[in-house]
């Protein structure tokens, strides 16, 4: 937790410990009495911006529908859909970059944050993918807590309940993600913007993905994957090219932003645009799979992510939402074969209509966890072609669906 500037005394230190806080970012030289009290209560004192060993600190965005705190409405993308800021993609990428480390997400508080904004949202946004939000309290709330304001105390308890909930379900963090789409890149250098924004925008589409680092790539990196976006500028090294073409020959789909000098060692006939099923790409048959080469060099990650979603839709869809568009999802599978789908609603209030969920696969039962629930509710499953559907109750901030 970041120690609020409004707190100049140590009076609230005991409450932090009771609320489950175990470390605070604090300039101990400025507030030595607070630092001494915190140490006495068993809290770790961390210099601002300096995480302890074993922790990767990432700078995140304040999650939510962009512009939702303004009276003038919300920002939207080219299709009119609400523009969502979220950190789920960033946490997933950092878990690949820093294996074995805890991921802490630091966000700046918006200056125009509406009173009563649910602070469970940034907590769930980071925790859903295995991260940890560094709790930061708005100054108005920090001052209200000093005075014992009931609304502020209730808001603080909800954050504590969220922390306790994810701690009780800590095993969920160890579940490996399930995805059929991989994004392969160094995620740095010349191609950093394009590749990271593809991850960001793919997450907004609720399309499960696997970030794959180019410098640690092996053929095993694509186990379970059916489509790969090669998001690096230029052509790959020969071993990577060979592995990707072998992946295609075995039935995979490879999406390229620029043509390679050779694909299979010989000229390949292009499929018709009708066979390719998307006019912005030329499709080539390689073995049992296809290579989709963009007719124009990629420069707009929004189009890349959305076009990949269209090309890959159908049998690659692992789940679909209805009546819950401004949300983020994370799909994992437990070691004993249970499927877990977590979702965050970034609108911060339940939708008018009950959300409906489709999950691909065969399942006997489904249970729904709400944030802070001591026990799950049972969901009714409706078998449909390729999977099951279920109707969920309104989701204010977060929910998790367990299927077996």
pLDDT digits (tens, 9 = 90+) for 171-186: 999 999 999 999 999 9
**CATH architecture of the domain with range 319-403:** Sandwich (2.60)
Say if residue 275's pLDDT is above 90: no
Predicted confidence at residue 230, as pLDDT, reads 98
Predicted confidence at residue 277, as pLDDT, reads 54
Predicted confidence at residue 41, as pLDDT, reads 93
Helix ranges, 313-397 (H): none
Helix 139-146 vs helix 150-168: angle between axes, to the nearest 10 degrees? Answer: 110
The span from the CA of 281 to the CA of 273, in Å, is 8
Predicted confidence at residue 83, as pLDDT, reads 78
Predicted confidence at residue 112, as pLDDT, reads 78
Say if residue 93's pLDDT is above 60: yes
DSSP code, position 397: S
The span from the CA of 261 to the CA of 121, in Å, is 47
**10-32 pLDDT, tens per residue?**
988 998 988 889 999 999 999 99
pLDDT-based confidence at residue 267 (cuts at 50, 70, 90): low
Predicted confidence at residue 67, as pLDDT, reads 58
Residue 318 CA: distances (Å) to CA of 193, 197, 313, 335: 27, 22, 10, 18
The DSSP bridge partners found for residue 377 are 368
- Give yes or no for a contact between 214 and 232, defined as CB atoms under 8 angstroms apart: yes
pLDDT-based confidence at residue 273 (cuts at 50, 70, 90): low
Predicted confidence at residue 265, as pLDDT, reads 52
CATH 3.40.50.880 residue ranges for the chain:
181-312
Predicted confidence at residue 66, as pLDDT, reads 73
CATH class of 181-312: alpha beta
HSE-up (13 A, CA, CB side) for residue 241? 12
Predicted confidence at residue 158, as pLDDT, reads 93
Neighbouring C-beta atoms of residue 390, cutoff 10 Å: 18
Q: Once rounded to an integer, what is the mean pLDDT over residues 124-135?
A: 97
Helix 192-204 vs helix 88-97: angle between axes, to the nearest 10 degrees? Answer: 130
**202-225 pLDDT, tens per residue?**
999 999 999 999 999 999 999 999
Average pLDDT, the chain: 90
Predicted confidence at residue 77, as pLDDT, reads 46
Burial 66-102 (b: 16+ CB within 10 A, else e): bbbbeeeebeeeeeeebebbbbbbbbbbbbebeeeeb
Say if residue 254's pLDDT is above 90: yes
Say if residue 72's pLDDT is above 70: no
Residue 396 CA: distances (Å) to CA of 279, 313, 345, 393: 40, 28, 7, 9
Give the DSSP H or E segment for 382: strand 382-384
Choose between 116 and 341: higher pLDDT: 341
Say if residue 367's pLDDT is above 60: yes
Rg of the chain, C-alpha, whole Å: 23
In percent, the amount of the chain with pLDDT more than 70 equals 92
Predicted confidence at residue 69, as pLDDT, reads 44
**27-42 pLDDT, tens per residue?**
999 999 999 999 999 9
The span from the CA of 298 to the CA of 301, in Å, is 7
Residue 343 CA: distances (Å) to CA of 76, 158, 319, 346: 21, 18, 12, 10
Burial class (CB in 10 A: 0-12, 13-18, 19+), 49: exposed
Say if residue 74's pLDDT is above 60: no
* pTM assigned to the model: 0.91
Residue 271 CA: distances (Å) to CA of 2, 285, 295: 57, 7, 14
The beta strands (E) that lie in 92-226 are given as 102-106, 131-133, 181-185, 210-213
The span from the CA of 122 to the CA of 127, in Å, is 9
CATH 2.60.40.1180 residue ranges for the chain:
319-403
**141-168 pLDDT, tens per residue?**
999 998 889 999 999 999 999 999 999 9
**Secondary structure (3-state) at 380:** coil
Predicted confidence at residue 282, as pLDDT, reads 87
Predicted confidence at residue 82, as pLDDT, reads 66
């Amino acid at each position: 937790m970041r120690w609020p500037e409004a707190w100049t005394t140590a009076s609230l230190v005991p409450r932090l410990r009771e609320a489950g806080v175990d470390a605070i970012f604090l300039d101990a030289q400025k507030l030595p009495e607070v630092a001494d009290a915190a140490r006495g209560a068993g809290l770790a004192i961390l210099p601002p911006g300096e995480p302890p060993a074993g922790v990767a600190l990432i700078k995140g965005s304040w999650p939510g529908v962009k512009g939702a705190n303004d009276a003038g409405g919300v920002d939207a993308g080219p299709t009119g859909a609400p523009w969502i800021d979220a950190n789920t993609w960033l946490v997933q990428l950092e878990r690949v970059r820093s294996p074995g480390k805890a991921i802490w997400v630091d966000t700046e508080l918006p200056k125009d944050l509406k009173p009563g904004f649910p602070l469970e949202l940034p907590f769930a946004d980071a925790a859903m993918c295995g991260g940890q939000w560094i709790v930061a309290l708005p100054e108005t709330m920090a001052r209200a807590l000093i005075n014992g304001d009931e609304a502020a105390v209730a808001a603080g308890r909800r954050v504590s309940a969220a922390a306790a909930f994810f701690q009780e379900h800590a095993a969920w963090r160890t579940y490996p993600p399930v995805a059929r789409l991989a994004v392969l890149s160094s995620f740095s250098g010349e191609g950093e913007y394009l590749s990271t924004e593809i991850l960001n925008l793919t997450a907004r589409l609720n399309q499960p993905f696997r970030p794959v680092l180019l410098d640690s790539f092996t053929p095993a990196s694509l186990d379970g994957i059916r489509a790969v976006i090669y998001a690096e500028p230029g052509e790959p090294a020969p071993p990577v090219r060979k592995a990707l073409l072998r992946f295609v020959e075995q039935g995979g789909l490879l999406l390229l932003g620029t043509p390679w000098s050779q694909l299979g060692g010989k000229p390949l006939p292009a499929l018709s645009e009708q066979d390719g099923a998307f006019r912005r790409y030329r499709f080539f048959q390689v073995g049992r799979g296809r290579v989709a080469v963009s007719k124009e060099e990629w420069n707009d990650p929004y189009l890349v992510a959305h076009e990949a979603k269209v090309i890959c839709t159908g049998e690659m869809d692992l789940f679909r939402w209805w009546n819950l568009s401004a949300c983020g999802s994370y799909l994992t599978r437990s070691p004993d074969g249970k499927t877990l789908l977590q979702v965050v609603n970034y609108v911060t209030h339940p939708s008018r209509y009950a959300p409906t969920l489709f999950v691909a696969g065969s399942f006997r039962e489904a249970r729904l966890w709400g944030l802070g629930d001591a026990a799950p509710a049972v969901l009714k499953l409706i078998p449909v072609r390729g999977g099951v559907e279920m109707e969920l109750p309104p989701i204010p901030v977060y929910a998790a669906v367990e299927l077996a």
